[in-house]
């Protein structure tokens, strides 16, 4: 009973911590011009008038589209790189696990601004020799999300007996791709989901690296817009927060196909957000 009360209080406190600022932002973004003027959605409607936010993707415009594309590419690329590597290490190089883990946690210990210093010459070189599209930020973002994705996937892989399952599949005639796709992936689906949720959230909220490497992603555009039109900038910020939240909730339902029961969906949601929070506070 006491635990129950404690939980409720924690939930309310945490909720207030997140919702009060967002509420305040929403309030600000719907203020009219001048005193006593009625609430207005003018700022929200104006979002669509800013090509640097929503226009077609060109090298120097459309932060929203760019950030969405970056989020999608980054989370997929991270999974494609990380899952086979982690499975392989578990199966064949178990002694390297500690090493791989500490390497993957490194980006957490290095401030983003320091990362930028390291990235700068590489991006200069890439811009000249390869491509200067904003989507090249993916490379930096993969490194940025690595610790979070690693943690999420590690928890998922720890929950199944990777070695026995893959050996069982191999003895039944499965090659490595089949082992991956049909045995490992289906059994770590919630971990895959957690990893992508974290990647998406991180990329959508990323400012430091994009700004310093001079790529106008969503957050960079919001900040620059704030200088000329604070109302619209705040409206975009709230919208992107809501969007990210909606996306997370939506994604967490993707993994639960129609054949699973509601109870399992609920269980998974709790699991997802429980794990997200702990991953985020590390």
Task: Note the maximum CA span of the chain.
Answer: 76
Closest distance to another protein from the beta carbon of 256 (Å): 13
* Tokens representing residue 169 in the block: 């599949």
Q: Could you give the CA distance from residue 85 to residue 90 in angstroms, rounded to a whole number? A: 9
Tell me how far, at minimum, the Cβ of 176 lies from another protein, in Å.
Answer: 9
According to the binding rule CB under 8 A, does residue 93 interact with another protein? no
Least Cβ distance, residue 102 to another protein (angstroms): 22
Q: Catalogue the E-assigned strands of 16-63.
A: none
Q: What is the rounded distance in angstroms from the CA atom of residue 103 to the CA atom of residue 97?
A: 10
Closest CB 189 distance from another protein, rounded Å: 8
State which residue, 22 or 174, has the beta carbon closest to another protein.
Answer: 174
**Closest separation between CB of residue 46 and another protein, Å?**
48
Per-residue interface string for the shown chain with another protein, residues 104-143, x marking contact by CB under 8 A: ----------------------------------------
258 binds another protein (CB under 8 A): no
186 binds another protein (CB under 8 A): yes
Work out how close the CB of 255 gets to another protein at its nearest, in angstroms, rounded to a whole number: 12
Answer yes or no whether residue 183 interacts with another protein by CB under 8 A. yes
User: Can you tell me the distance from the alpha carbon of 71 to that of 145, in angstroms, rounded to the nearest whole number?
Assistant: 10
Judged by CB under 8 A, the chain residues 163 through 182 that form the site for another protein are: 164-165, 167-175, 178, 182
Q: By C-beta, is 205 or 255 nearer to another protein?
A: 255
Residue among 46, 73, 160, 247 that touches another protein (CB under 8 A):
160
Pick the closer one to another protein by CB: 129 or 171. 171
Q: Let me know the angle formed at the C-alpha of 197 by 226 and 152, rounded to the nearest 5 degrees.
A: 130
Least spacing, CB of residue 38 vs another protein, in Å: 55
CB of 91 to another protein, least distance (A): 10
In the complex with another protein, which residue's Cβ is closer, 29 or 252? 252
Task: Pick the closer one to another protein by CB: 37 or 171.
Answer: 171
Residue with Cβ nearer another protein (189 or 212):
189
Give the residue from 135, 130, 121, 146 showing the smallest Cα distance to 215.
135
Compare residues 187 and 271 and give the one whose CB is closer to another protein. 187
In the complex with another protein, the residue whose CB is nearer, 156 or 231, is 156
Angle 140-146-152 from CA coordinates, rounded to 5°: 150
Contact residues for another protein (CB under 8 A)? 160-161, 164-165, 167-175, 178, 182-183, 186-187
């Amino acid at each position: 009973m006491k635990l129950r009360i404690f939980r409720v209080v924690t939930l309310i406190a945490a909720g207030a911590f997140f919702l009060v600022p967002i509420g305040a932002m929403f309030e600000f973004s719907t203020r009219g011009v001048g005193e006593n003027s009625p609430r207005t959605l003018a700022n929200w409607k104006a979002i669509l008038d800013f090509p640097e936010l929503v226009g077609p993707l060109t090298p120097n415009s459309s932060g929203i589209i760019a950030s969405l594309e970056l989020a999608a590419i980054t989370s997929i690329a991270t999974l494609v790189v990380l899952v086979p590597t982690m499975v392989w290490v578990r199966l064949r190089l178990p002694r390297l696990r500690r090493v791989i883990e500490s390497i993957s946690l490194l980006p957490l210990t290095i401030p983003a601004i320091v990362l930028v210093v390291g990235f700068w010459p590489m991006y200069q070189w890439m811009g000249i020799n390869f491509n200067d599209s904003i989507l090249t930020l993916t490379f930096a973002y993969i490194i940025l999300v690595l610790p979070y994705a690693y943690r999420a996937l590690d928890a998922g892989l720890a929950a199944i007996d990777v070695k026995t399952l893959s050996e069982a599949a191999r003895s039944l005639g499965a090659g490595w791709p089949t082992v991956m796709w049909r045995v490992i992936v289906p059994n770590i689906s919630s971990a895959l989901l957690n990893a992508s949720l974290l990647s998406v959230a991180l990329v959508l909220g990323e400012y430091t690296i994009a700004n310093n490497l001079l790529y106008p992603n969503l957050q960079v555009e919001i900040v620059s817009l704030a200088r000329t039109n604070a109302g619209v900038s705040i409206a975009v910020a709230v919208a992107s927060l809501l969007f990210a939240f909606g996306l997370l909730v939506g994604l967490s339902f993707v993994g639960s196909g129609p054949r699973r029961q509601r109870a399992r969906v609920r269980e998974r949601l709790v699991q997802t957000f429980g794990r997200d929070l702990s991953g985020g506070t590390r």
